[in-house]
Amino acid sequence: MSNASILAVRNLEKTFGLLVAARDITVSVPHEQTVGVIGANGAGKTTFINMVTGHLKPSKGTILFEDKEITGKPSREIVQLGISRSFQVAQIFPTLSVFDNMCVAAAIARRKSGLLGGVTSPVHSEAAAAEAQATIDLFQIGQYRDTLASTLPQGVRKLLDIGMAVVGWPRLLMLDEPTSGISIEEKFDLMQIVMSALKTRKITVLFVEHDMEIVARFADRVLAFYDGTVIADGTPHQTLDDPRVQELITGVRLKPGAGHA
């Protein structure tokens, strides 16, 4: 049964009353693959991510992570198993400095397990501080180390948000629109920093993205969502050249060769 896939989703479905938000999603992701997820608003991308990360309980179907069933588990348990996520709107602690944000995340990830684990582990341990610093360096936000998070520029916020998801050494990371709210000029640099950091840590990535050039540039594989299900699944070229994807999602034909900019 084990086929080297880190995530295996079968027949996943989510309904809200009569509304079908996701249906019949079957996807298998091998280790260390970078998967782009595209689709119009309401196509089911975020619902899919929310189900895998435990934010929503699927109505039907199964989710296997490293061959363990995680369907319907609460998000905090799923995080502890090794699936982490970032958010469309950066979720950080505005009244703490960048370093303290990262330290809290690192200390939580390193805390002892058990009922009293959180109370008996110190928040300022040398190991957590070192881990926090390493992740700050990895995401190249060292110059903001002592800056209050509420005053950070948008791009740095995003990097901090993703960094906090990575500091606990997850094996699978879900990025929900990592470049949303970022200017076009900055998008590529930001994605470059993020993707090389994730490669360094050998993290399998699923990222939701609306900019097809970024998808073509950074994904090994692209899933196209439409009306709650996957309508195309293949290399960026295959998916972006799919006539249905062009008709329903991208709307335009991408210039040939854009995939290797």
Residue 222 within binding range of another protein, rule CB under 8 A: no
Measured from the CB of residue 88, what is the shortest distance to another protein in angstroms?
12
What six digits make up the tokens of 178? 């990592």
How is 75-117 classified by DSSP, letter by letter?
Answer: HHHHHHHTEEEE-SS----TTSBHHHHHHHHHHHHHS--STTH
Residue 201 within binding range of another protein, rule CB under 8 A: no
How far apart CA 197 and CA 207 sit, in angstroms, is: 14
Measured from the CB of residue 94, what is the shortest distance to another protein in angstroms?
6
Measured from the CB of residue 122, what is the shortest distance to another protein in angstroms?
6
Could you tell me how many residues of this chain bind another protein (CB under 8 A)? 34
Residues 151-180 that bind another protein (CB under 8 A): 164-165, 168
- Long-range contacts of 152-158, Cβ-Cβ distance < 8 Å, separation of 24 or more: 152/92, 152/98, 154/90, 154/181, 154/182, 155/182, 155/186, 155/190, 156/98, 157/90, 157/92, 158/86, 158/90, 158/182, 158/190
Residue 128-147 contact track with another protein, rule CB under 8 A, x = bound: ------------------x-
Judged by CB, which is closer to another protein: 98, or 232? 98
Identity (one letter) of the amino acid at 92? I
Residue 123 within binding range of another protein, rule CB under 8 A: yes
Alpha-carbon radius of gyration of the chain: 19
Residue 188 within binding range of another protein, rule CB under 8 A: no
Residues 52-81 that bind another protein (CB under 8 A): 53, 74-77, 79-80
How far apart CA 157 and CA 179 sit, in angstroms, is: 11
Judged by CB, which is closer to another protein: 205, or 245? 205
Give the interface with another protein as residue ranges (CB under 8 A): 53, 74-77, 79-80, 84-85, 87, 91-96, 104-105, 107-109, 111, 117-124, 146, 164-165, 168
